[in-house]
């Protein structure tokens, strides 16, 4: 580091994807050094050192980062071109704009609101959209607008148009489906590819689809789980970001599984959202790379 | 307890299944008290207090148990008849006779041999049967006979007859498939219903069937697991006794998943076998009740 | 079971402590059967079958339980006298009255409020008492009174008298210290023995006392934890109800440990409180028996 | 990567410690690139970006590595001098020479033998040294020499001299204390600083010293653990490499805790040894950095 102490506002991130080849790290770290940035943390992954895809995430410190970001991006374009990189610089203090979609269950929503309030989710929660009005009261103490957009089969397309309108108005960058019980249209899913995270109440791929607790109870599994994943066209089949499980036994009926699952769901979803917002999650086909 | 200290040889177990109705515990505990037995531990489960199935496992202490067991069984028949019980008394020091089936992988076998040697598996390991000869050397230091019964499609029926012959000669009461890579015939499976335990190298029902590590890798799951279950006619679909999982990430290739899975498999199988031998596992249709 | 279906209001609990001797379960289960109660679940523990202490917790079903409870208690006194039992009958739907003590940190409080709202904590939350005013806003949406009772060294005795006054006025039966940063007086502790639960932000007995995160960081542990325990005269030394841990590594500084610990604390405290309210926790000297 | 596929023999590691300053990664990665090496994996840690200590571990691929290692080391000396680095290159296939010290308990020894046999511990196990003769039989099937070096207070110094003699004769680079029940002399400890790993049967710093299971039982903890650490002059106080825990309850007596602990100990010790041998563990004062 240079002289003096480090401000939070001087921290930045660089995320890179490109075909793997020798010299990438030397080129990137050389560039950062020349521009006065000190690498604080670095993660990388290659799907195959011979001809695979390469992923890189660097946290760096650079005094007056915000002022220097435009030039940094401009100068880096040269490096990016050589290595055919898809690269993105950001300032760590930047807060991406997040909307939460809900239906009637409150546990994931409350977890996100609390963690956000506690400073653990680096985002701006700009709105909550519910297809039922019930959760407005949960949101109100947090001074975040709640929009009720009711959905029924006849009005589904119109409702989705209204959702899109809200997302545009709020300049939303990430949609979190916090136990949102509606299937999104293929158009919506395509538009939000890699920017919509869902929580599924089973340990996918087991018990995909409806009524996972009944399925789990019938099969007599000894662990139940939850899965946070990016939303894709195929239901419950998108790239998995995080999963966790909890031990159950013969005494747990379907209601118990539901109660236990709520604890897993809210933890897993909150972690997945946080990691996404910290640029730790990189999509690689139908899988994710999650840099810890 | 009555006067004097308690010997391990004075400990017994009673396992009961019957239709649920009021008064079962009063009847059973009254019977034990009248016969001088002290209940040391008791577990019970009812699938539904109104018209369900009832399961009971009691550990009790009774001086000179072994001498008294025949009379105990005879007298209990009366109680059992009233409540339509399927009941079984046993002396805790009894060691059931166990055979282990293996192929080429040694990790589950070694775990069972070590835990048995350490006194953690209350059984007599009477033989190991391998369809390959490789693991004879692993078994030999433990002074347990190893039988090589080779299997190929043409000789499969004859090989299974030889296995049955060995199981009969050794008076085997439990067969443990410790990464045994052959499918057993429907006749064999039926004959050993509830007395043959398999370890599957995935978190069932996810990735049933062949090559679970490839399936897991393709799907990009964040936890992999293993499942110990009773063998039934439908492959990988029998009642689950125990499962566990371990966290994995994008850096783990198929070989890593295999290595990690080995650790889960040996732990889960050893636990399931131990619980079975302690009469903790009661089959209820396609599920199990596992009394801790 | 008898005829008809079972109401939640027909469920009851019996908790018993007494010197161990033969016949206790026969006597208790016989009593319940004679009075028409069906045992739904039962747990027991003996510290030593020869001359130890015996603990029993039974869940039973009995039509019109509430009306029958007084007679049940009266008649059971006879059994209790024979076996020198400390016995307690209760109706499962009864909600004990709980007060939460807080200072400035909100995470445990919010967890308790949410779980209570979700029906997961079988209690009536009658008030929250804070020695700082900050958390009034967190409590207000839940329609539970918040009382600010400031404490400073000079006014400590008066403040505690005010707390006792509130607890009496609200007829509180359990005090939960949800990251309450004041040491209670010996008088208070004695008066609430077995009825005050604290959460400590370390895996006791490691890092008892002040600044556990600094201690953990200096020692370089690889797991940090939290401990819920009954409050006793000796600080951080009361009977442990529950503990849990989370993996940490060299990258976690003291602020990270604090953040991770918050997640453990709120889960562990909520579990301990729930178990206490379900009569699952029995104190045995400086240890607890927790019936699952 | 360059042309062709990658052999295991072409993989190498570079581990670096130095004062933190800007440009280190650029310098190291530039050096590796110039010498034709491709970075496959990289981990780093700074205790403080302004004036702290910097730790770096790089896995790289370089054709014909073994032949090039001497030159690589020689040329790197220049970079190392500039940044005041303590740097070490090694070829991944190199197997360090390991001795295991044991007493009477076999569980950790068997785990190490099995994992080594399964190819999971990248070392050459050159000998086992026991202060009791009992475990010779456990070692013999693995074709590793077992040396019985008895120890009693009177002969302790002579016995340690004999141990040192054996370690020298076998050119041992790492000593693993696999439930070795003797305290080593300060001289021995100093000589093997950072190269002797012990497993302690408690979750340190809780229950350091003797009889941890009795201590845990008396305190009534709900989790017990084990800790692998480097041996230092102060007993049970060396830098922690890994720890893990397992849930226990009131039914577990001291013998149960011992049995459960054995499972934790063998897993934790095997992990710690493997990580050490893969150069993932860097000592930083009394703490460790463990690169995953």
Q: pLDDT tens across C111-150, in order?
A: 999 999 999 999 999 999 999 999 999 999 899 999 999 9
**pLDDT band for position A61 (cuts 50, 70, 90):** very high
Give dist(CA C103, CA C199) in Å, integer: 13
Mean pLDDT score across all residues of chain C: 94
- Cis omega (within 30 of 0) on the bond before B163? no
Shortest distance between the Cα of C24 and any Cα of chain B, in A, equals 9
Point out the residue among C2, C26, C36 whose CB comes nearest to the CB of B33: C26
The complex's ipTM works out to 0.93
Q: How far apart are the CA of D159 and the nearest CA of chain A, in angstroms?
A: 47
CB D114 within 8 A of CB D139: no
What's A96-290's CATH class? alpha beta
| Structure-token match 């001797």, residue found | C21
Chains that touch C (3 or more CB pairs under 8 A): A, B, D
Give the Cα separation of C203 and C260 in Å (integer). Answer: 13
Q: What is the pLDDT, as a whole number, of residue A4? A: 44
Strands A53-61 and A11-19: antiparallel
* pLDDT above 50: residue A153: yes
* Length of chain A in terms of residues written: 292
State residue B141's pLDDT score: 86
Chain B partners within 8 Å of C20 (Cβ): 1
CB of C30 within 8 Å of any CB in chain B?
yes
> In this predicted structure, what is the pLDDT of residue D5?
55
Give the closest-approach CA distance of A49 to chain D in angstroms: 6
Contact yes or no for A222/A247 (Cβ under 8 A) = yes
Centre a 10 Å sphere on the Cβ of residue D122 and count the other Cβ atoms it contains: 16
D251 chain-B contacts, CB cut-off 8 A: 41
More confident: D145 or B209 = D145
Average pLDDT, chain A: 94
Q: Rounded distance, CA D207 to CA D200, Å?
A: 10
The upper half-sphere exposure of residue B281, i.e. CA atoms within 13 Å in the direction of its Cβ, equals 24
Q: What is the pLDDT of residue C5?
A: 55
Which of A26, A48, A53, A65 best tests the D interface by mutation, with the highest count of D CBs <10 A? Answer: A26
Domain boundaries, chain D: 8-91, 96-290
D227: cis peptide before it, omega within 30°? no
> Taking the CB of residue A188, how many other CB atoms lie within 10 A of it?
17
Is D244 annotated as catalytic?
A: no
Q: Does D106 touch chain B (CB under 8 A)?
A: yes
Interface test with A, best of B248, B250, B289 (most A CBs within 10 A): B250
At residue B2, the pLDDT reads 39
- In CATH terms, are C8-91 and C96-290 the same topology? no
Interface of A with C in 126-145 (CB under 8 A): 137, 140-141
Q: What is the pLDDT of residue D48?
A: 84
Give φ, ψ of D178 to 5 degrees: -100, 75
Would you say residue B4 has pLDDT above 60?
no
**For A141, which of C41, C141, C251 is closest by C-beta distance?**
C141
Active-site residue, selected from the candidate residues C10, C20, C106, C236 = C236
Q: What gap in Å lies between CA C149 and CA C160, rounded to an integer? A: 9
pLDDT at B1: 36
Of D108, D103, D105, the C-alpha closest to D199 is D108
- In Å, how far is D1's CA from the nearest CA of chain A? 5
- Contact criterion met (CB < 8 Å) for B107 and D120: no
Contact B239, B232 (CB under 8 A): yes
Question: Helix C24-34 crosses helix B24-34 at what angle (to 10 degrees)?
Answer: 140
For chain B, what is the largest distance between any 2 Cα atoms, rounded to a whole number of angstroms?
A: 64
Query: What is the tens place of the pLDDT at every residue in A241-285?
Result: 999 999 999 999 999 999 999 999 999 999 999 999 999 999 999
**Burial environment of residue B78 by CB neighbours within 10 A (0 to 12, 13 to 18, 19 or more):** exposed
When CB atoms are compared, the residue of C22, C32, C37 closest to B1 is: C22
What pLDDT is recorded for position A49?
72
Q: Where are the alpha helices (DSSP H) in chain C?
A: 24-34, 65-82, 107-117, 136-139, 156-169, 186-191, 212-219, 254-277
pLDDT tens by residue, C197-242: 999 999 999 999 889 999 999 999 999 999 999 999 998 999 999 9
The CATH class that applies to domain A8-91 reads alpha beta
| Segment D257-274 mean pLDDT | 97
Which structure tokens are listed for C276?
A: 């206490």
B206 touches chain A (CB under 8 A): yes
- What is the pTM assigned to this prediction? 0.94
Chain A residues with CB under 8 Å of D14 CB are none
Nearest to D284, CA basis, from C251, B191, B15? C251
Segment (H or E) for A284: strand A281-284
H or E stretch including C38? Answer: strand C38-46
In this predicted structure, what is the pLDDT of residue D41? 93
Tell me the residue length of chain C.
292
Give me the total of CB pairs closer than 8 Å, taking one residue from chain A and one from chain B.
79
Q: Which residues of A fall within a CB distance of 8 Å from C106?
A: 118
pLDDT tens for residues C15-63? 999 999 989 999 999 999 999 999 999 999 999 877 899 999 999 999 9
The reply to whether residue D287 touches residue C243, judged by beta carbons under 8 angstroms, is no
Which of D110, D118, D137 comes nearest B114 by C-beta? D110
């Amino acid at each position: 580091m240079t002289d003096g102490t480090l401000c939070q506002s001087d921290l930045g991130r660089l995320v890179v994807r490109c075909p793997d080849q020798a010299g990438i790290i030397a080129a990137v770290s050389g560039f950062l050094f020349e521009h006065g940035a000190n690498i604080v943390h670095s993660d990388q992954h290659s799907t195959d050192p011979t001809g695979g895809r390469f992923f890189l995430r660097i946290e760096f410190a650079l005094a007056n980062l915000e002022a220097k970001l435009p030039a940094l991006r401009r100068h880096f374009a040269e490096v990016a071109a050589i290595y055919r990189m898809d690269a993105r610089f950001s300032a760590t203090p930047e807060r991406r704009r997040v909307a939460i979609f809900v239906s009637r269950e409150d546990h994931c929503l409350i977890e996100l609101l609390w963690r956000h309030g506690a400073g653990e989710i680096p985002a701006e929660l700009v709105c909550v959209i519910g297809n039922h009005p019930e959760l407005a009261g949960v949101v109100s103490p947090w001074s975040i607008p709640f929009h009720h957009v009711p959905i029924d089969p006849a009005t589904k397309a119109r409702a989705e148009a209204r959702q899109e309108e809200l997302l545009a108005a709020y300049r939303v960058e990430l949609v979190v489906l916090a136990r949102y019980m509606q299937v999104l249209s293929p158009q919506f899913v395509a538009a939000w590819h890699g920017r919509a995270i869902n929580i599924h109440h089973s340990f996918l791929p087991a018990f995909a689809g409806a009524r996972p607790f009944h399925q789990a109870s019938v099969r007599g599994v000894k662990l139940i789980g939850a899965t946070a994943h990016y939303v894709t066209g195929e239901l419950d089949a998108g790239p998995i970001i995080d999963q966790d499980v909890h031990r159950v036994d013969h005494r747990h009926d379907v209601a118990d599984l539901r109660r236990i699952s709520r604890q897993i769901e809210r933890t897993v979803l909150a972690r997945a959202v946080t990691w996404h917002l910290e640029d730790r999650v990189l999509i690689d086909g139908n899988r994710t790379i999650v840099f810890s």
